[in-house]
Amino acid sequence: MKASDLRNKSVDELNNELIDLRRAQFSLRMQLSTQQLNKVDQVSKVRRDIARVRTVLAEKAKQA
């Protein structure tokens, strides 16, 4: 996921994307705690994606 792709989305789409990422993060945390997660790097990738979405949302709020 790239920030340039996120900037082309609307605020509602970004909020939906953020909700999906938060659900994925919760699922990954549960898998990690029960030692069922094989790809541990997925946790950091989802965290970075959440940060990207929140940054773009903040930029859009600042412009409005």
Q: Is residue 1 pLDDT above 90, yes or no? A: no
Which pLDDT belongs to residue 64?
A: 77
Domain map (residue ranges) of the chain: 3-63
Task: For 4-55, write each residue's pLDDT tens digit.
Answer: 999 999 999 999 999 999 999 999 999 999 999 999 999 999 999 999 999 9
- What pLDDT is attached to residue 15? 97
Kindly report whether the global pTM for this prediction surpasses the value 0.85. Answer: yes
What class, spelled out in words, does domain 3-63 have in CATH? mainly alpha
Tell me the DSSP string of 2-38.
-HHHHHTS-HHHHHHHHHHHHHHHHHHHHHHHTT--S
